[in-house]
């Protein structure tokens, strides 16, 4: 069987089996840290989450599953979907404590399913109602780690940077005002407008980029990707069509569970922002003062020129 098709089949089978026991299962927008599926405690305001990795394997011969060491912590569960040449399906579940007992090298745990004896060897892992109760117990003990999501319309940001350069060149003709470092711009946006100030959070930055953008966004050193001891993860989203449509779809997926910042200066976002406000979903808008009327609709907003100015090297009293 085609590998991709088998993995999709595995995810669908795992979701259907979990649904039988009334688990709320969702598909994350991105596969992060081995998270193919999520089990949530609440569909609108989740506070607890289990990360599920699903693997599909054909057992017409011996099979093997690898799990990176860093994936396996207290909120991680592995499901292995097995199908044989007669299309007989079985689902096995592995909790983190057991996964850590499997043979590993410096980077991965390895689980081997030998055709001759896997049924006997892993009979206790065959997914049953008892395992479902164990999952419910695990879910009650987990907690979603504090996260911030920053969504950047890079077309808007690029135009905002150009406008801000013109503004400060006029104010400070004696200074050498140049295009700011991109990562420093992102860091200052977070420092200025992220309302969650706790240390040790995860900050996910999604860059929505078209082929016409010229921002230099790649090749960051690992030690640079921190703001106040919170780790920054940057994802580039290459878009061929309208960025606003892609961002609208993305925001509708993440806004329920995360602290969100939208960096954009375009009236195309008014319907989306109005809908979010009517649904009492909170988002911080970071835009230009000269935004063609975007701020006239009464959204909570912050001035993008402030973090851009800081990234250019200006002092706070000069902004």
Reduced 3-state DSSP string for 20-85 = HCCCEEECCCCCCCCCCEEEECCCCCCCCEEEEEEEEEECCCCEEEEEEHHHCCCCEEEEEEEECC
Cα separation of 106 and 85, whole Å? 34
Q: Are 14 and 91 in contact (CB under 8 A)?
A: yes
What ranges in 123-242 are assigned the alpha helix state H? 129-141, 154-171, 182-193
Can you give the pLDDT at residue 1?
A: 58
Cα separation of 255 and 266, whole Å? 19
Can you give the pLDDT at residue 12?
A: 94
Cα separation of 53 and 67, whole Å? 9
What Cα–Cα distance (Å) separates residue 172 from each residue in 164, 169, 226, 278, 314? 12, 5, 31, 42, 10
147-318 is a CATH 1.10.286 domain: no
Please tell me the number of Cα atoms within 13 Å of 186 on its side-chain side: 29
Can you give the pLDDT at residue 223?
A: 47
Q: Are 259 and 147 in contact (CB under 8 A)?
A: yes
Can you give the pLDDT at residue 70?
A: 87
What Cα–Cα distance (Å) separates residue 126 from each residue in 31, 91, 123, 261, 317? 25, 6, 6, 43, 64
Q: Are 215 and 157 in contact (CB under 8 A)?
A: yes
Q: Which CATH class is domain 3-141?
A: alpha beta
Report helix angle 243-254 to 270-278, nearest 10: 10
CA torsion sign, 189 to 193 to 198 to 203?
negative
Cα end-to-end span (Å), the chain:
61
CB atoms within 10 A of CB 198: 10
Can you give the pLDDT at residue 132?
A: 96
Domain ranges of the chain: 3-141, 147-318
Q: pLDDT tens digits, the chain, 319 residues: what are they?
A: 567 889 999 999 999 999 999 998 988 755 567 788 989 887 655 678 899 999 999 887 788 899 999 899 889 999 999 988 888 899 999 999 999 999 778 889 999 888 888 888 899 999 999 999 999 999 998 876 667 889 999 989 999 999 999 999 999 999 888 889 888 899 899 889 887 765 567 788 888 887 666 555 544 454 456 666 677 877 777 777 788 888 888 877 666 555 789 999 888 888 888 888 887 777 889 998 875 667 778 888 899 999 999 999 999 999 8
CB atoms within 10 A of CB 145: 10
């Amino acid at each position: 069987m085609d590998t991709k098709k088998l993995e999709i089949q595995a995810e669908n089978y795992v979701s259907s089996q979990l649904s039988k026991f009334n688990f709320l299962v969702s598909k994350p927008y991105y596969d992060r840290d081995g998270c193919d599926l999520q089990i949530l405690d609440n569909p609108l305001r989740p506070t607890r989450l289990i990360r599920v990795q699903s693997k599909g394997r054909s057992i017409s011969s011996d099979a093997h599953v690898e799990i990176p060491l860093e994936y396996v912590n207290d909120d991680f569960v592995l499901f292995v979907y097995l199908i044989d040449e007669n299309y007989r399906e079985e689902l096995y579940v592995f909790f983190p404590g057991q996964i850590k007992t499997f043979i590993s090298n410096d980077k991965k745990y390895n689980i081997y399913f030998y055709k001759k004896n896997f049924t006997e060897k892993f009979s206790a892992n065959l997914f049953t109602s008892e395992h479902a109760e164990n999952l419910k117990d695990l879910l009650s003990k987990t907690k979603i780690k504090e996260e911030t999501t920053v969504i950047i319309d890079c077309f808007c940001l690029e135009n905002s940077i150009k406008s801000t350069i013109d503004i400060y060149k006029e104010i400070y003709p004696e200074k050498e005002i140049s295009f700011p470092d991109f990562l420093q711009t992102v860091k200052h946006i977070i420092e200025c407008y992220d309302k969650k100030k706790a240390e040790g959070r995860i900050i996910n930055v999604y860059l929505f980029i078209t082929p016409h953008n010229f921002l230099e966004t790649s090749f960051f050193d690992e030690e640079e990707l921190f703001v106040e001891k919170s780790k920054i993860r940057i994802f580039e989203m290459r878009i061929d069509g309208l960025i606003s449509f892609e961002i609208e779809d993305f925001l509708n997926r993440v806004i329920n569970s995360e602290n969100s910042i939208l960096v954009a200066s375009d009236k195309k976002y008014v319907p989306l922002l109005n809908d979010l406000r009517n649904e009492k979903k909170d988002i911080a808008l970071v835009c230009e003062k000269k935004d063609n009327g975007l701020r006239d609709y009464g959204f909570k907003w912050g001035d993008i020129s402030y973090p851009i100015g800081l990234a250019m090297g200006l002092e706070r009293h000069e902004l």
